[in-house]
Amino acid sequence: MSISIQIAQAVAGGIKTLYGQEITADSVQLQETRPEFEGNLTLVVFPYLKMSRKRPEETAQEIGEYLLSEVPHVIAKFNVVKGFLNLTIAPAQWISLLQEIYQQENFGFIPVTEASPLVMIEYSSPNTNKPLHLGHVRNNLLGWALANVMEANGNRVVKTNIVNDRGIHICKSMLAWLRWGNGETPETSGKKGDHLIGDYYVAFDKHYREEVRELMAKGMDEEQAKQEAPLIKEAHEMLVKWEQNDPEVRALWRRMNEWVYAGFDETYKALGVSFDKIYYESDTYLEGKEKVEEGLAKGFFYRRDDGSVWADLTAEGLDEKLLLRSDGTSVYMTQDIGTAKLRFQDYPIDKMIYVVGNEQNYHFQVLSILLDKLGFKWGKDLVHFSYGMVELPNGKMKSREGTVVDADDLIATMITDSRQMSADKVNKLENISEEEAQEIARIVGMGALKYFILKVDARKNMLFNPEESIDFNGNTGPFIQYTYARIRSILRKAKEQGIEIPTELPTTTELSDKEISLIQHLNDFAQAVRQAGSDYNPSCIANYCYDLVKEYNQFYHDFSVLKEENKQKQIVRLALSAAVSKIIKSGLGLLGIEVPERM
């Protein structure tokens, strides 16, 4: 049982004994004592003044004396500062807590059972007309980390992806390949399939712009020129053929999409993310049209004179939302409704979380209302995990102009830069092979990328700076990974010297304030996991890990571990170091970040 729970239960007992009032242990709020006061945990007694009918100082004194008499094995002493009861915990309790953290396999995590709530998380959502870019990287890393955090909070999790594999943007790449591809394939070009198709998407835009300029030079205004350009007309004709199941268009579509999926899979593997179930817009949009027709029949929606179908959401303080165009074709909202239908058929979802950028805030506000109207039990409470855009020092990215930061190029650059930055450290390692050195570079490079992105509150826009991310000092992934590797080195040396950490730690060991503070910080991991889950905010974990590592490095600077002559202190400090490395690994693991055993 944790120290806080033991104290909370004792406080509840004290309130009943002293003042004849019933309170629950859950209602007792304890906080870490402020640095300028003596103590480890503080109880604010103001909530109990109506029960005691005494001054704050007197109430705090009475509760403190009660705790000292009832749980002397937990409370060593106390002091009162106005309405604050500062409690100093008995050293043996800290040792017991350290032992629990060190020995418990998944400390801080809530076990998942068959009865746990089922949470579905959608992330990635790529288009099949271009490779993944930096924006997708943030999306995938956030989705993966959030899935891990939700599972650590006792939920069953299903990770899903919706691939936008149909529409005018896909036809643009297809048409460009037919026009200028000369039968080029990933094999003949030596390019990943998603990159190859992305090149043709850029090529379409280049030629399309030229046509628009030519039409404008002949006297058309820009808007008319954009609509009348031969290329865009041909692309729309191809889309109509696709909708009509034209065998040649469909065959080309399937072939080119397969190239893209193979490319995506390589990128996902490099990022360390995966999915339990992938849905495709080409399968879901017809399901969405069915659900819209069903809603129309039930009077949830209405049809205008031109045949288009709309939802009137003015009663909910919103506007009217188009669901089916006058020609019967679907919109993104229709697709999302269809995807929801298929997902609900596949899984008994309790909560649905969409990881999508904040430019879609209004879309998901509308989707929530529509799904609720259509009878999806989780519709009303769906979560839009809304995140900000990733910007670069030189501005925003544009896919069709080919100015994006490609995910594959970014990953390769991070690993290369990591190898160069860590060359001095790695070269000092004994008996290291080229293969191991490259694996360390991969782990550190990807750790730098993931941590830099995930340490920022997802709701904020962020500026990505690769050079800053790979620094071995400051709030970076490599800084935390290096501390982990350093601790593992200490533990290996201890083993070589025949020093083992026993099952039962010596409870009579005298602890310094720094060691107690570090144990407290380790214990706070569980709270960081809870907060990350309740706030849908993986950055809580990232920043917790950084604070823990700073605390440990200060401890390691001030105290000897292997050179400590007092054997009891040496054992406790080794256990403390091992527990820190374990929590670092768990915390970074939630973020999808690996840790090197040496570095």
Give the span between the Cα atoms of 414 and 470, in whole angstroms.
Answer: 8
Sequence letter at residue 558: D
Which residues, 6+ apart, have CB-to-CB distance to 72 below 8 Å? 90
Give the span between the Cα atoms of 339 and 122, in whole angstroms.
Answer: 11
Q: Which tokens sit at 178? A: 């037919």
Residues linked to residue 77 through DSSP beta bridges, in sequence order: 88
pLDDT, one tens digit per residue, over 16-60 is 999 999 999 999 999 999 989 999 999 999 999 999 999 999 999
Give the span between the Cα atoms of 548 and 430, in whole angstroms.
Answer: 29
Q: 355 near 382, Cβ under 8 Å?
A: no
- Would you tell me how many other CB atoms lie within 10 Å of the CB of residue 78? 21
Locate the domains of the chain by residue range. Answer: 3-89, 123-275, 284-349+362-380, 410-590
Phi, psi of 541 (to 5 degrees): -70, -45
- CATH number of the domain located at residue range(s) 410-590 in this protein: 1.10.730.10
The CATH homologous superfamily for domain 3-89 is Arginyl tRNA synthetase N-terminal domain (3.30.1360.70)
Helix (H) or strand (E) run with residue 384 in it: strand 383-387
Sequence letter at residue 280: Y
Give me the pLDDT at residue 330, please. Answer: 84
Distances (CA, A) of 538 to 264, 459, 549: 24, 11, 17
Backbone conformation region of residue 156, classed left if phi is above 0, alpha if psi is from -120 to 50, else beta: beta
Q: Which residue, among 526, 516, 525, has the nearest Cα to 576 in the 3D structure? A: 516
Give the span between the Cα atoms of 60 and 57, in whole angstroms.
Answer: 5
Residue 347: half-sphere exposure toward Cβ, Cα within 13 Å: 20
Give the span between the Cα atoms of 485 and 599, in whole angstroms.
Answer: 6
Which residues, 6+ apart, have CB-to-CB distance to 7 below 8 Å? 28, 30, 41, 43, 67, 71, 74, 75, 87
Give the span between the Cα atoms of 546 and 447, in whole angstroms.
Answer: 13
Give me the pLDDT at residue 394, please. Answer: 62
Which residues, 6+ apart, have CB-to-CB distance to 284 below 8 Å? 162, 335, 338, 339, 341, 342
Give the span between the Cα atoms of 542 and 455, in whole angstroms.
Answer: 5
Give me the pLDDT at residue 124, please. Answer: 97
- Would you tell me how many other CB atoms lie within 10 Å of the CB of residue 282? 20
Q: Which residue, among 200, 193, 195, 209, has the nearest Cα to 173 in the 3D structure? A: 200
Phi, psi of 31 (to 5 degrees): -135, 160
Give the span between the Cα atoms of 113 and 151, in whole angstroms.
Answer: 11
Which residues, 6+ apart, have CB-to-CB distance to 230 below 8 Å? 211
Give the span between the Cα atoms of 156 and 116, in whole angstroms.
Answer: 6
Q: 463 near 405, Cβ under 8 Å?
A: no
Give me the pLDDT at residue 445, please. Answer: 95
Give the span between the Cα atoms of 288 and 324, in whole angstroms.
Answer: 10
Sequence letter at residue 220: M
Q: 448 near 477, Cβ under 8 Å?
A: yes
Class of domain 123-275: alpha beta
Cα angle for residues 596, 575, 1 (degrees, 5° grid): 115
SS3 513: helix
Q: Which residue, among 344, 364, 346, 347, has the nearest Cα to 355 in the 3D structure? A: 364
Cα angle for residues 575, 581, 583 (degrees, 5° grid): 100
Q: Which tokens sit at 522? A: 């380790």
Q: 485 near 447, Cβ under 8 Å?
A: no
pLDDT, one tens digit per residue, over 112-145 is 999 999 999 999 999 999 999 999 999 999 999 9
Q: 310 near 322, Cβ under 8 Å?
A: yes
Q: Which tokens sit at 513? A: 């304030």
Helix (H) or strand (E) run with residue 89 in it: strand 84-89
* Burial environment of residue 219 by CB neighbours within 10 A (0 to 12, 13 to 18, 19 or more): exposed
Rounded percentage of the chain residues whose pLDDT exceeds 70: 97
SS3 388: coil
- Would you tell me how many other CB atoms lie within 10 Å of the CB of residue 343? 21
Distances (CA, A) of 542 to 17, 462, 464, 477, 591: 43, 15, 16, 9, 8
What pTM value is reported for the model?
0.91
Give the span between the Cα atoms of 367 and 323, in whole angstroms.
Answer: 11
Give the span between the Cα atoms of 90 and 47, in whole angstroms.
Answer: 26
DSSP code, position 47: G
Q: Which of the residues in the chain have pLDDT under 50?
A: 396-402
